[in-house]
């Protein structure tokens, strides 16, 4: 590899994909109500988190620790390794800003540090797909400039379409008013949301789980291009059966062949809650 690809745990990549493409992952932090600190994917898995949330516990999240960022960056600076860091959206976390500050600090000690940091304006496997596509190129021997060009294109074309099973978790996170959450749950309203310029933006409201999944596929069909020849991402809030169901529907409808499927991690899951379903794909015409 000419270039090392680094990302953070908000990318929600499966461990086998991380190992296959030799991606370094810096964990975000998650805090329980008693202020106990966890590292996303290392000391707290999402299944445990979701079970606790179903029992009424509330979690907060924070950007990666200074030590995790510094230790990762300084290791490669000492080795003179060219690195690209693919960061969680700056509109949803301070991770991009924090990693940029650490890079500048390391640059004072190692002026020739070769590290590029990208604000993906993405989250979950949307961010993860950008990292995977970059890592594939790195493993194939692509140059730094070729990989950067691919990343810039991916940031412009990645699509996120997702829904949540229970609106109370968006209420807890301040994304939805208490009244709207109560009424929505009573009426079985399932919102479809997407990511626009790095922000979570409501797209439409649909009544019933079956209808909302159908609408997600319709949106994918209208926005997606060349779907059968790209990697499709699917993340879920502890509901693998629902993820497999929508994967099969994509295969039948669009001929999709390659997927990255994983549970949402603890950092994203603390805000989205169990039962969340999200799909990610590239739109060449965005």
pLDDT tens string 114-141: 999 999 999 999 999 999 999 999 999 9
Q: CA–CA separation, 135 vs 262, rounded Å?
A: 18
**What are the residues whose beta carbons fall under 8 Å from the beta carbon of 170, sequence distance 6 or more?**
164, 176, 181, 271, 272, 273
Average pLDDT over residues 63-80: 97
d(C-alpha 148, C-alpha 49), whole Å: 35
| C-alpha span between 142 and 233 (Å, rounded) | 23
pLDDT tens-digit readout, 240-256: 999 999 999 999 999 99
What are the tens digits of pLDDT across the range 13-58? 999 999 999 999 999 999 999 999 999 999 999 999 999 999 989 8
The DSSP symbol for 242 reads H
Q: Is the pLDDT of residue 173 over 70?
A: no
- SS3 at position 188: coil
């Amino acid at each position: 590899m000419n270039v090392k690809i680094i990302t953070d745990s908000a990318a929600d990549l499966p461990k086998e994909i991380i190992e296959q493409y030799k991606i370094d992952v810096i964990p975000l932090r998650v805090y329980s109500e008693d202020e106990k600190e966890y590292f996303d994917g290392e000391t707290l898995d999402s299944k445990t988190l979701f079970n606790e949330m179903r029992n009424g516990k509330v979690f907060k999240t924070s950007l990666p620790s200074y030590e995790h960022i510094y230790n990762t960056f300084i290791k490669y600076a000492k080795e003179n390794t060219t690195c690209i860091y693919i960061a969680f959206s700056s509109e949803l976390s301070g991770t991009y800003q924090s990693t940029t500050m650490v890079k500048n600090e390391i640059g004072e000690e190692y002026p020739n540090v070769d590290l590029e940091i990208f604000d993906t304006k993405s989250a979950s496997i949307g961010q993860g797909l950008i990292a995977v596509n970059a890592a594939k190129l790195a493993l194939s021997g692509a140059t730094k400039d070729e990989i950067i060009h691919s990343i810039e294109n991916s940031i412009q074309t990645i699509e996120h379409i997702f829904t949540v099973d229970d609106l109370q978790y968006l209420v807890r996170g301040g994304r939805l008013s208490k009244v709207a959450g109560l009424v929505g749950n009573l009426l079985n309203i399932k919102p479809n949301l997407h990511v626009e310029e790095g922000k979570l933006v409501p797209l439409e409201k649909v009544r019933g789980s079956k209808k909302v999944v159908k609408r997600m596929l319709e949106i994918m069909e209208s926005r997606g291009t060349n779907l059968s020849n790209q990697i499709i991402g699917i993340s879920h809030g502890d509901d693998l059966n629902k993820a497999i169901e929508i994967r099969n529907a994509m295969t039948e409808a669009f001929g999709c062949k390659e997927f990255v499927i994983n549970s949402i991690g603890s950092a994203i899951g603390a805000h989205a809650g169990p039962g969340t379903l999200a799909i990610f794909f590239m739109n060449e015409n965005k």
